[in-house]
Amino acid sequence: MTLEVPLHCRHVASAVLIVAATTACAYGQQAYPVRPIRMIASQSAGGGVDAVARLAGVRLTEAFGQNVIVDNRPGANGTLAGDLTAKSPPDGYTVLLGALGNLVINGFFSKISYDPLNDLAPVTTAISSGNLLVVHPSVPAKSVKELIAIARARPGQLAYGSSGTGGAGHLAGALFQRMAKVELLHVPYKGGAPALVDLMAGQTQMSFASLPTALPGMASGKLRALAVTTAHRSKILPDIPTIAEAGVPGYDAHSWYGFAVPAKTPKAIIERLNQELVRALNHPDTSAALLKQGQEVWTSTPEAFAAYIKSEYDKWGRIIREMRITAQ
């Protein structure tokens, strides 16, 4: 048997459905997120990016009431993670924690399938982590000026290892060569850890290493730290001078991470993510845990992060061209 609904009742029902749909849409906009968020980390589990993603993810889960799932996508200096994010729906449910490589410079070394400046929307900077200029104990230099003197006397003979071509350590070394007017031999590795293993074994002589990877070698006496690469001294190593202080005025190079989403993500969602990520990273427990790893919390507005990315693009693009750096 078919139940026939009177015509006037149909009109009322239609009106109710329209109002309900409109209310649901408005509620959906206000209630973001309504399902789990995938946070893509551009390094493997256990690395610096992974640690930041997981600590921030815990706080976001508490704030949003939705799970934040960390998805590690290492490879190609972060290009795989950047590409995956750029091609995801711009709905706020895919968030990238990237770094210098996939947010700025990878396109200088090879053709990549996305444009970091146009296919990703910045949300906030996350971490600033200066690198350390460290040498093997066999190198007689006790200061940056002494190291420069040795490098000038032995052009191309001091080898510095890095996590790979185009990585922060590599570019820090390239900037050092240009500004200190020295010639060094770059030796790329498949990660910062193997580069430090060979340095401690004496296979290379120096490195512009991340703080987390360099600290154990310093503690054991297998590495000697000469300076930090940032413009300001490190909070956890305040007695170690900056390279700028120690003999190369104006020198500034640092590792950093930042959050981004696919381009065309609604501004309201970006602002909500910014608000919660800034709060999460600056939580006392989170910032303290990161500082123990040599990573300082550094947050910003989306607009400030976009301007910083552009400045890094211009700065490192110039260095890459002038130093004729190519993929190896």
Q: DSSP state, 105?
A: I
User: How far from chain centre, in Å, is Cα 53?
Assistant: 10
Q: What is the pTM of this model?
A: 0.82
Interacting residues of 217 by C-beta distance below 8 A, sequence separation 6+: 134, 196, 199, 200, 223
Phi, psi angles (nearest 5°) of residue 295: -115, 125
Q: What is the CATH number of domain 34-129+255-322?
A: 3.40.190.150
Tokens of 175: 């900037």
Tell me the C-alpha distance between 47 and 295, whole Å. 12
Give 253's DSSP letter.
-
Residues 88, 94 contacting (CB under 8 angstroms): yes
Q: Per CATH, the architecture of 130-246 is what?
A: 3-Layer(aba) Sandwich (3.40)
Q: Would you write out the chain's pLDDT as a tens digit for each of its 328 residues?
A: 333 444 444 444 444 334 334 433 433 455 899 999 999 998 888 778 889 999 999 999 999 999 999 999 988 878 999 999 999 999 999 999 999 888 998 889 888 999 999 999 999 999 998 899 999 999 999 999 999 999 999 999 999 999 888 888 999 999 999 999 999 999 998 778 889 999 999 999 999 998 878 888 999 999 999 999 999 999 889 999 999 999 999 999 988 999 999 999 999 999 999 999 999 999 999 999 999 888 899 999 999 999 999 999 999 999 999 988 887 6
Return phi, psi of residue 129, to 5°: -140, 100
Return the domain boundaries, the chain: 34-129+255-322, 130-246
Joined together, the tokens standing for residue 221 give: 């006496």
**End-to-end alpha carbon distance in the chain:** 76
β-strands 120-135, 185-188: how paired? unpaired
